[in-house]
Amino acid sequence: MNSFKHHKVYSLLSMILIAFTLVTKIQGKALAYSTPILGMNFDFINAQGQTNGCDLTGADLIKNYNMPGVRPHVQDYLKQMHDNGVSSIRFLIWHETTITGPTNAIPSVGGVIGEPYRTNLIQYLSDIRTAGYSSFNVSFSPRGAGNPTEKDGITYDPAQFDENWHFIQDVRGLAKQYGPATLRVDLDNEAAHMTGWVTRE
């Protein structure tokens, strides 16, 4: 009986040793090939170059980038974040065909990003690259009738699809040309299904 118990103990120890060895090798390989990437959302800044405060209406960075003093402030923020270990910037673009009232959305009419937002985006992308960031994540958020999730409470118009798609292509081209080497694109921000959203078969 004692011999049987010893055999079970030795077998268990052997299995633990094998498992430990495998985990060590896997972890060693993971550490060798995977370095954590620190990222930051940087979407808002007001016309005074301030990022504090909870009211974000009209504070979209691309809308204000050509305002006096805003770009130098952003360049300082980018440098500070990069110096503290941030290597990736994520930016959210709200867009809609027709802009009415206070909003952070920019016009996407014709499927292109027009002025002054185009130049503002190019400058922002260039500043991100100059600051040394290795990657840029751009997330699109169509609004109004162009939003297929209908989470705005507005019925989706399928005719908006081509405009949205061409707008994405246009912005992606600018990001590839002027931004960091690595680009990731989110076609529709927070578009995963949630209770209360319209479901289509």
Q: What is the mean pLDDT of each run of 10 residues along the chain (201 residues)?
A: 42 43 48 68 71 66 90 94 93 87 86 96 97 94 84 83 94 96 88 56 45
- Cβ contacts of residue 184 below 8 Å, gap of 6+? 135, 136, 137, 138
Q: Please state the pTM of the whole predicted model.
A: 0.75
Residue ranges of domains in the chain: 1-34, 37-186
Phi then psi dihedrals of residue 167, to 5 deg: -65, -45
Supply the pLDDT for residue 119: 97
Cα separation, 64 vs 48, whole angstroms: 9
Rounded Cα distance, 171 and 62, in Å: 12
Write down the pLDDT at residue 101.
72
For 82-98, letters b (16+ CB in 10 Å) and e give beeebbbbbbbbbbbbe
Helix H or strand E encompassing 73: helix 70-83
Q: What pLDDT is recorded for position 127?
A: 97
Which regions of 26-134 does DSSP assign to beta strands (E)?
39-41, 88-96, 106-107
* CB neighbour list of residue 120: distance below 8 Å, 6 or more residues apart: 62, 63, 64, 65, 66
- How do the residues of the chain divide into helix, strand and coil, expressed in percent and rounded to 5? 45, 15, 40
pLDDT, residue 195, reads: 57
pLDDT of residue 48: 57
